[in-house]
Amino acid sequence: MKILITGGDGFCGWPTSLHLSSKGHDIHIIDNLSRRAIATALNYESLTNIYSIHERIEKWYELTGRSISFSNINVAENYAALQSEIASFNPECIVHLAAQRSAPYSMMSVDSGNYTLSNNVLTTNNVLKAITEHNRAIKFVHLGSIGVYGYEDRDFEIAEGKTHFSGCDKNNRPYSLKAQIPFNPTSIYHLSKSQITSLLNFYTRNYGLNITDLYQGIVWGTQTSETNIAPELSNRFDYDEIYGTVLNRFVVQAQSGLPITVYGRGEQTRAFIHIQDTVRCIETAVNSGATHSGDVDVMHQIAETRTVKSVADHVAKLVHGSIKHVVNPRDEEEEHRYILENTKFKQLGLSQLNTLGDNLLDEIQNVVDKNLHRIDQTCIDPKVQWGKVSQKPDNECAVKRVGKTPAKSAARPALQAAAMG
């Protein structure tokens, strides 16, 4: 199948590109390399050494004989270029991963928030518009976030997609309708993903597009069967306060002899998935064919839910580390019931997803051990504050808010200009 992958150089995008290429699909990547630019501007680099997109693609061809093509295009800002790529490559499927994907990044400043909103919404609108104009049969797979639901205490299962509701109006006229469980995003990033949902509904209903939306949990792990083949194919590993996800941060802290820092009480429940399963899920979605429901096909891309504290305990036990609770910089419930439906991927034949108990944690430890000399310990503590109503201004984290060096703080406005301009 001819598959266009936007954001194909990123943390989920690169392993997805390799995985789908290894299955014999014809892959074309569009990416503006913004994740690399942001890492440089923040001075928060991947723990693994990552090669340029050209070196990556060359090595993949050398080792497998499979070619991947690449175009450097800003999908949010250059509709004409996107259009001409789609016209010439003529994809049967577009996997849309181009997005600013960090919640803390979106909460850094008004500029980083606005960039996240406009970049994520406009990339998606442009791709959908281009599909509408070029060929409405192209399957569109979007990588969303399970975080759009927020973390209220809910004692019922959150359905994958629309579910039936009933109610009565003021005059006791009964009604029933289909709707998703209401969203309650707690960061501008998650808000951007909930806004994309309204775009996907719009194009499905008004133009009949064939759309699958994957609500992904927190991704852990680094490598997949394909990125592991050679150092040049390595995936990125982020452990900083902005892009590092919780498990990566914990392992780096433990392996460095630092206490594992849990935000608040740690009873927050989160959904997790390993990067190896991310690429399997996307492959399954790509192969799932047209949806005929007339609705966006929402799938929960998760393997399990766990509390943050249980993840910390797990890492601490394996690495003999200690745990330290710090004031939570985020605006979130610290204890809540959270039950997510998780049946669609099973129905499509995908089962036995990796969980944290499995030995894949060894792989993270190996990655960290091999790169111990590259760890920057100052980039882990949270500096970005959500600024919520109940938050006290003077806490342990707030004093570090200015960033570690003046040079880095100065780099941020430049980053915005570069990323948005």
Site residues (vs a copy of itself, CB under 8 A): 79, 110-111, 113-114, 117-118, 121-122, 125-126, 129, 132, 136, 154-157, 159, 163-167, 169-171, 173-175, 177, 179-186, 188, 191, 194-195, 198-199, 201-202, 205-208, 331, 339, 341, 343, 386-389
What DSSP element (H or E) covers 34? helix 34-42
* Rounded least distance, CB 201 to a copy of itself, Å: 8
Give the nearer residue to a copy of itself in terms of CB position, either 15 or 382. 382
Give the nearer residue to a copy of itself in terms of CB position, either 61 or 207. 207
Give the nearer residue to a copy of itself in terms of CB position, either 164 or 320. 164
Q: What's the half-sphere exposure (Cβ side, CA atoms, 13 Å) at 18? A: 30
15 touches 229 (CB < 8 A): no
Q: Which residue carries 């500029």 as its tokens?
A: 111
Torsion of CA 29, 34, 35, 40, to 10 degrees: 140
333 touches 308 (CB < 8 A): no
* Rounded least distance, CB 190 to a copy of itself, Å: 9
Give the nearer residue to a copy of itself in terms of CB position, either 195 or 291. 195
Give the nearer residue to a copy of itself in terms of CB position, either 54 or 170. 170
Give the nearer residue to a copy of itself in terms of CB position, either 351 or 390. 390
Q: How many CB atoms lie under 10 A from the CB of residue 314?
A: 16
Residue 28 to residue 23: CA distance in whole angstroms: 14
CA neighbor of 159 nearest in space, from 365, 359, 343 = 343
Q: How far apart are the first and last CA of the chain?
A: 34
Q: What is the DSSP letter of 43?
A: T
* Rounded least distance, CB 83 to a copy of itself, Å: 9
Residue type, 95: V
* Rounded least distance, CB 104 to a copy of itself, Å: 15
* Rounded least distance, CB 66 to a copy of itself, Å: 33
* Rounded least distance, CB 50 to a copy of itself, Å: 31
* Rounded least distance, CB 184 to a copy of itself, Å: 7
Residue 128 to residue 29: CA distance in whole angstroms: 17
Give the nearer residue to a copy of itself in terms of CB position, either 206 or 351. 206
* Rounded least distance, CB 57 to a copy of itself, Å: 29
Residue 102 to residue 133: CA distance in whole angstroms: 31
* Rounded least distance, CB 329 to a copy of itself, Å: 13
Give the nearer residue to a copy of itself in terms of CB position, either 24 or 175. 175
Give the nearer residue to a copy of itself in terms of CB position, either 132 or 365. 132
147-170 burial code (b ≥16 CB/10 A, e <16): bbbbbeebeeebbbbbeeeeeeee
Integer CA distances (angstroms), 362 to 3, 102, 173, 224, 225, in order: 33, 25, 59, 14, 15
